[in-house]
Each structure stands twice: as structure tokens, then as C-alpha cells.
Structure 1
Amino acid sequence: MPRYQQLANELAGMIAQGALRAGDRLPSVRQTCQSRGLSAATVFQAYRLLEARGLVQAAARSGYFVSAHAGSAQSPTRPSPASDAAPHTISEQIFELLQSSRERGLLPLGSAFPATELFPLERLRLALGAGMRKLEPWQISAELPLGLETLRRQIALRYLRLGLRVAPEDIVITNGALEALQLCLQTVTRPGDAVLVESPCFYAALQALERFGLKAIEVPTDRAEGADLQAMARLIAQHRPRACWLMSSFQNPLGCTLPPHKKRALVALLEAEDVALIEDDVYAELHHGADPALPAKAFEQRGGVMHCGSFSKCLAPGYRIGWALGGRWAPQLQRSKLMSSLSSSLPAQAALAEYLQDGSFDAHLRRLREALARQMRRMAAALAQHMPAGSRVSEPAGGYFLWLELPDGCDSLALLPRAREQGFSLAPGPLFSAQGEFAACLRLNCGHPWGPAWETAIAALGDMARAQLAQR
């Protein structure tokens, strides 16, 4: 049973037995995270599940309270249809963010995905047909599980342009970057191990660690220059982690990039301590300037970096094709892929290989980078105009996320229902922390063409934040 259901059932049992009575306030998300060693996303999901069962009610800025009619609610051992339908691998909050990208009437300010109109979907459709026609019958089985050699060669050429010599046979094609990252995690860790993560970090990293029974050790991370390496060294000495899951360029959610000297120092520290660096580099192609950011992989000396990339953010979101380089764990990574999903979609691989071979990718990337940089400038200007005094906004050099820090006293979780009423989604800060931190922060998506609706949403967000501050 998923951990959020275990927590929900335990609390439901306490309500049924009278240990928690109508009007009682549940422990805060932060308290529950700390006392039970759970992620904020898991606690949110448990509380939302109790709310769906009618056992608790949410009060803005006050938390969750046992419902007046909780005694007549269904038995905690008999989940409602709503709980049966609840996702088992991501929290309800995250599921709502993913769903928001599908709701045409809801502006995806909190979404993790860029607009589909920014991608060459028609060209990819044509490449799919051409690629499949070139696919030989023997390739259908012979190129499992590493993936199509033609695609791996094209990926190796992208590395070569960065000065990295990568052999195609060292590349493992995966079902998106998330599978690549999870396979790396499974390869170098065992349940109970500690893993370093940035704070804040991509919420899927927290979900993966929880899924595999790993302990998240949060490293303070600056919104300009990334992870604090001195703090990281202290945490390594204290917790002896087996791995570090980190985005070195255009980090989600902060947008920060480690400078080259800091990437070199990061790799040196981790290799010296025998900590595997799992580098999540899915935004590598989305630099806004002329020059790409070198990955931390470029600075390894002993094969200590497992590098993961994807076409989902820069070319083909729906194709779910990523890859991983295993470093000195390459053979073990290949076995992990074989035992996990065996292979990734051959038609999607064939389409991408065909597209990359015809020379269109770089022209597409230039247009995409220009669009994302332009959209980010427009949103940053709107935030400067509409947010309360004392707000701060990150200044990324790539990607398509801005990190908004509202003044103390603002509650990003309490803004969610108000935002939905106003017609837009939000990604609240606590989703990006294992301890439910960053209550006054939001991750904002700049991956959609700017227009009046976006200006209106930002203005409404500013009004909502000021209203919260006025109630302090």
C-alpha cells in the first residue's frame, strides 16, 4: 500500500475511534513530514484523500480540521471510489499540476510543460513515417535494450559538440528522462541509503527517493549559483550518502546554473567521497545565450557522473525518449534497463533519429530558445510590476521556469484554490522540498507564448498575495 494511503488510513482510524474529534486540527504538513520522515507531497496527498472521504476540511491559511460529520463518513478500511482512483506514484497535488496542462480553460502557470506549438510536430510526424520505413526487421529485437544505434549515434554527436567523447554503446535509451534518472538511482543505491538532493529540487526526485525507500538529504541551493558545496561536504560527512541527484544547469525549479569552476569542484568532491553524481540535464539545450552550459559530466576524472538527458523538453514532449550515460556503472545500468522495461518505443526512436539526421534540429532549437527567452523576459517584467513589495524573482540563463519568492506571510498553498477560481494553475513551493519548506514561493512556467491572459493572471496573483499580507 502506498505510504500516503497508510497515513490516511491511520488518521481515519484515529477519527473513527474518537482520538481525533470534530473540529480538531490535524498536525501541520511540516510537523508530519518531520515526525514521520515523509515528503510534503505524500502528506498533502494523504490529507487530500481524507478530504475526499469527507473526514477533514481544509481552511485557508489554517490547515486541515476534522469535519463535523466525520463520524458518519465511511470506514477508513473501505476506501471510496475517489481514493481507488487516486494516483499511486505521484501526489494529488502533482497530479493536478499535470492535469492542468490538459484543461484548455485553465492557464498552465503551474505546469511543468512548455506549449506544444513551440515544437515541430508536423516534421516529426513525417520523420516517424520515414524512420519506420527504414527500420529493418532484425532491429526490432537486436537493438534492445540499449536502443536504436542510429539514435545513439546522433546523441553521441551532440556530446561531441560539447567536447565530450561518448561511444554510442555507452548510451542507454530510456522512456523519458525520469526513467533514466530512476535507473541510475536503482543502480547505485539500496533501500535505506541516503541521497543528496537540492533544496528546492524537482519534486519527481523526492517521489523517486520515497518510492525506492531512500532518505533525502537536502542541500541548501542558491537561486543564482546553485548548491552550497560547503554545506554538501558537511552533509556527506554526516550522512555518508551513496548518490547525489542534481541539476547543474537551468535547475527546476530555481533556474540556477552552477558556474564551470563550481561544477569542477562539485565533481571533485563527490568523486573523492565515492558519491555517484546523477546529473539531470534535461534542459541542457535550452540555454538563452549563444553558448551551451557544459555539464558536470565534462569535469569527471573517474567516471563518477551518470548523465541523463531527454528530448521531451526541447523537441518531442509526447515521445518520452530520454537516455543515460552510466559512467563507471555503465554495465550495471544496462542490466537495470533490461530488468526494468527492456526497451523504449522503437517508432519514437526511429522518428527522432530520422529528424536529427536531416539537420533541422539546430534551426528548431534557435527558434525555441529565442521564444523561451522572450517569454521569460515578459513574465519577469509583469512580476516586477504586479507583485507585492519585497518579492524576488530568479534570473535564469536558460530553461523556462521562474522562481518567485513572495514576502513572508504569504502562503502559496492557500493561493491554489483562489488561482483556480481565477482561471490559472500554480506550483507551490512546498512541493519542491522534502520538509515542506518554501511556503511563500512559487514556480512559474514561462514556456507558453505571452498574451493578455498571462498578464491578467500575473496581476491577479499579485492581488491575491497582497490580500494575504493584509490579513496578517
Structure 2
Amino acid sequence: MRLSPLEPSQDKVLYQQVADRLQEQIANGTLKPGDRLPSIRKLKQQLSVSFSTVTEAYRLLEDRGLISARPQSGYYVKLTALQQHLEPSLTEPYARVCEIKTSLTFKLFSNLLEPDVIQLGAATPSPEHLPVAPLNRLMAKVMREHPEAHTYNVPAGCERLRTEVSKRMLDAGCSIHPDHLLITNGAHEAIYLSLQAVTTPGDTIAIASPTYFALLETLKALNLKVCALPTHPRQGISLSHLEAALASGNVQACLLVSNFSHPLGTCMEDDTKKQLVELMTRYQVPLIEDDVYGELYFEGTRPKAIKAFDTDNRVIYCSSVSKTLSPGLRLGWCSGGCYHLKVVYRKSVMNRMSAIAPQLAVTAFLANGGYDRHLRHLRRTYQTQMHRMLQAICDYFPAETCVTHPHGGHVLWLEMPEGFDAIQLYDDALQRGISIAPGPIFSASGECYRSCFALNTALPWSDRIEQAMQTLGHLAKKQMAVNF
């Protein structure tokens, strides 16, 4: 972006003219939310003004709420909250304990990863946002310099990696000794092993609803039933409904994604997390926490894990680098609390250990500071992309659309008026090379959230994504014009 020199004005001082010029660029879309503004030095040269003039102009734009400063980075167009669409309210899942239906999920999941389809339905990070080159270099170095990468290791995994993970968990409010961590093949295996350790076939698990469909598949594979809890996009699960389920004696464990859950993007407040742990402790029921999105917060500090409030050692903590570094490395971890030895035993029986080379490569990346630099960039990128998708929803979708406004992660949940058919939208969109994740696959019964769907915001924003959102909005408006 290049601005032409300013014309003399008797009505406004110079810094106000600079601010107005930039505000006009923001208003007409030349400067989009999340875009970096020219440096003070560059704008000074373009407009032939002083440093102090540009500085005062940027301060004025900050006062107007249009831009924000990022330390050691510069000024950016502010990602202001979009209010054109309401947020969904508390969900109303299938009320009774039920077995899990998976036929719909299997029917649709095969299309979620087709290479020629725009993947707005699969909540996977784009390789363009991942540190592929440095990870490749570290992996090659590991294979050259560490012959132990070709040998067996203990089931718990490399001690150096467990030490690095233990350090990072301090940011989540957890003080966990490396000996109490288990390295797994992603968070999915960590959750699977944890469920095996605390349940038997036929048990009932309390979950948030809607819930990530892969977790539902895991529960189904273990022959477990679910008690689906009403869930609010901001506050999380209804603790009163959970307490009623626990009091009935029919719930043997609870499984929750603690921060920026998929698909609602829920991040419970600390007080709620503390109340949740106290509730589980009172009834002596284990809680399995999936914190795979915890590092992807947009502002402030990392949200605490539920495990941070665990005084009875009954919270099993699971996470991974699949959403931040590389899904393909299949590297996660688990802290099993008082069930830890049971989890480690099942790991040793299932596959002995996780591959050593990825563990050593990720250890080096965590230890040299590369991870934190990468996360700072990734968080800004995801915040910008989510805001642009929210803006596209405002621009192209029906006015009746409700959409979540998460403060982290990379998934949006859209709720259309009752009677809307997200399965039909899925079919119509797929014919045009676009995939979405229709609501029923996030329901244990397969009967809820017919009017809802989820969108992945982790893809690099482009004209192609913009066009896909315009197409989805057109299809949604067309269906509503016919059915309503």
C-alpha cells in the first residue's frame, strides 16, 4: 500500500489528516482486519511528514479503536468484534443416555480430506502455517546423530521430551513431574488409553454436546455409552446437568475438550473449571481432559487447564502438537494422575512405545525457542483468518445465521433457523468442490444439530476461500428461500 502526499488543510491539523486517510483505507477494505500498517518510518517518507506526526496519527487511530500495537512488530488493523450475527445459545442434545451412531460420520468423513476439495469441514491446520522446513532439518539431524532413534525405548517415551513438556505445562497452571508423563501417538491415542484405564464396556461417559466426531468414534469403538450435556459456546457444559447425571450414579467418567473445543470453541473460565473439578472430586469420578487447542489463544495469556485445579489427582490430562506443529508426526502426551500406571501399561501392550525420531526432533524444537516464536505467529494468523471468515459470514450468509465468536482455536460453529438442512447444504456444497462438517456428525445420537455445521478457519485466506464462502452463503440463502 502506498499513500500519496497530503494536501494542505485549514480544518484539521496534520496528524488528524494522516489518521483520516488511513481510516478511509480501513473503511473501504484496502486495509483489512489483521493487516499490518506501514512502519512509522515508511509512512513518514510516503507522506513527507515528521515522525511525531505519524506517531500521533497512530495514537489517534488507537483511540478510535481501529488499530492496535503489537510489541516489536508494529501497528495492525484491529480485529474488532463482529455483532451482525448473534451467537448460538445453550445446546439441547438428546436427553437420554444413548449408544453412539456412526454411520453418518463414516459416510461423510471420507470426503473431508479429498485433495481437490476446499477443506472447510476438516479441522486440520494447513501445512503453509506449520514450521515444516525447520522440523525437516531437525529430523534429518536426529537421524544422523542419534542412533538410538532406531532402537526401542521405554513405553513412557524420551525423558528429554517429557521434561520439555513438563516445563510447558507450567504455563497451563500444571506442575507435573516428567516421570508422570507418557508420550503417545497423538492426543487421540492418549484419550483412547485413558478411557481404557477408567472404564469397562457398557459404561456411560458424560460429554459436552456437540462433540468432535472423532471422540465419538473412539467411544463407540470401546463400546461406551454417552450422556450428552447441554453446552454454551462461552460458558461450556451445564454443571447442573452434569451434577444431576453424577448423582444418578450412571456416569463412570467425563471427557471434555477444555480450551477452544471443537466445534463450539468453548473456553471455560477458571472459576467454572474449579467448580467442575470439585464436582468430579465429590463424586469420585475421573475426568479426561483434551487440551489440544490450549496453546492457540488469541489474546492475553494461555488459559489454564482443568488439571490445574485438580487436588485429588483424578484428572487425566491429554494433549499433542497436532494442531500446532505437525499432525503427521503423531506426537502427543498424557498425564494419568492416579490412573497413570494403568495408562502406561495399556500403552506398552498396545504398541510398546511411540517412534523415537519425532520425539527427538520435537524436543529440539521446544528446547531452542522455535516453538514459542512459531506459536506467536500462528496465533496472529489464526485470529486474522477467523475474523475474515466471520466477516464473510456477515457479508454472504442469511441474516438469521448465528455463529460462535471463539477467542482461540480455528473452528466456527454456525446455527441456522430450525428446519434448515445442513446435510443438504453439505451435499450441495460438495458438488461445487467445498466440504463442510454438518452438525449431526457431532451428535452421539446422530439426530441433533440438523440445522448446524462447522467451518475450519485454519486455511490461508485467499480469493478461493472468499469465493467458497460466497458460494456457501448463496446455497444457504437459496435453501431458506425454498423451505421457509
Matched with 1:435 is 445
**1:214-243 deviations in whole A, cap 9, x for unaligned?**
111101111111101011111222352111
Alignment CA distance shift 1:341-1:381 (3 Å): same
How many angstroms does 1:162 deviate by? Answer: 3.6
3-state secondary structure, aligned to 1:96: coil
User: Do the aligned residues in 2 keep the contact of 1:410 with 1:439 (CA within 8 Å)?
Assistant: yes
How many angstroms does 1:34 deviate by? Answer: 10
Matched letter for residue 444 of structure 1: L
How many angstroms does 1:359 deviate by? Answer: 1.3
Matched letter for residue 200 of structure 1: P
User: Do the aligned residues in 2 keep the contact of 1:41 with 1:93 (CA within 8 Å)?
Assistant: no
Q: Is 1:304–2:314 an aligned residue pair?
A: yes
- Take 1:346 and 1:137, find their aligned partners in 2: how far apart are those partners? 8
User: Size of the alignment, in residue pairs?
Assistant: 389
- Take 2:349 and 2:263, find their aligned partners in 1: how far apart are those partners? 32
- Take 1:194 and 1:38, find their aligned partners in 2: how far apart are those partners? 9
Alignment counterpart, residue 396 of structure 1, candidates 397, 406, 413: 406
How many angstroms does 1:136 deviate by? Answer: 5.0
Matched with 2:123 is 112
Gaps of 5+ in 2: 1-93
- Take 1:138 and 1:469, find their aligned partners in 2: how far apart are those partners? 57
Matched with 1:121 is 132
**1:384-439 deviations in whole A, cap 9, x for unaligned?**
12111211110101000010111222111111221012221010000001122001
How many angstroms does 1:163 deviate by? Answer: 3.9
- Take 1:431 and 1:163, find their aligned partners in 2: how far apart are those partners? 33
- Take 2:304 and 2:376, find their aligned partners in 1: how far apart are those partners? 18
Q: With structure 1 as the length reference, what TM-score do the two structures score?
A: 0.80
Matched with 2:474 is 463
User: Do the aligned residues in 1 keep the contact of 2:143 with 2:149 (CA within 8 Å)?
Assistant: no
Matches within 5 A, 1:186-225: 186-225=196-235
Of residues 328-337 and 230-239 in structure 1, the stretch that sits farther from structure 2 once superposed is: 230-239
User: Do the aligned residues in 2 keep the contact of 1:131 with 1:354 (CA within 8 Å)?
Assistant: no
User: Do the aligned residues in 2 keep the contact of 1:278 with 1:308 (CA within 8 Å)?
Assistant: yes
Alignment counterpart, residue 455 of structure 2, candidates 437, 444, 448: 444
Matched with 2:192 is 182
Alignment counterpart, residue 107 of structure 2, candidates 92, 96, 110: 92
Matches within 5 A, 1:59-458: 91-97=106-112, 99-100=113-114, 103=115, 105-137=116-148, 140-141=151-152, 143-436=153-446, 437-458=448-469
**1:124-183 deviations in whole A, cap 9, x for unaligned?**
011112233443549933x32111111111101101234422111111000111000000
Give me the identity figure in percent: 35
User: Do the aligned residues in 1 keep the contact of 2:281 with 2:312 (CA within 8 Å)?
Assistant: yes
Give RMSD over aligned pairs: 1.8
Matched with 2:45 is none
- Take 1:288 and 1:273, find their aligned partners in 2: how far apart are those partners? 35
- Take 1:290 and 1:135, find their aligned partners in 2: how far apart are those partners? 38
Matched with 2:102 is 41
User: Do the aligned residues in 1 keep the contact of 2:97 with 2:226 (CA within 8 Å)?
Assistant: no
Alignment CA distance shift 1:336-1:352 (3 Å): same
Matched letter for residue 217 of structure 1: C
User: Do the aligned residues in 1 keep the contact of 2:155 with 2:182 (CA within 8 Å)?
Assistant: yes
3-state secondary structure, aligned to 2:260: coil
User: Do the aligned residues in 1 keep the contact of 2:157 with 2:183 (CA within 8 Å)?
Assistant: yes
**Structure of higher CA gyration radius:** 2
User: Do the aligned residues in 2 keep the contact of 1:40 with 1:430 (CA within 8 Å)?
Assistant: no
Matched with 1:16 is none
How many angstroms does 1:471 deviate by? Answer: 2.1
Q: With structure 2 as the length reference, what TM-score do the two structures score?
A: 0.78
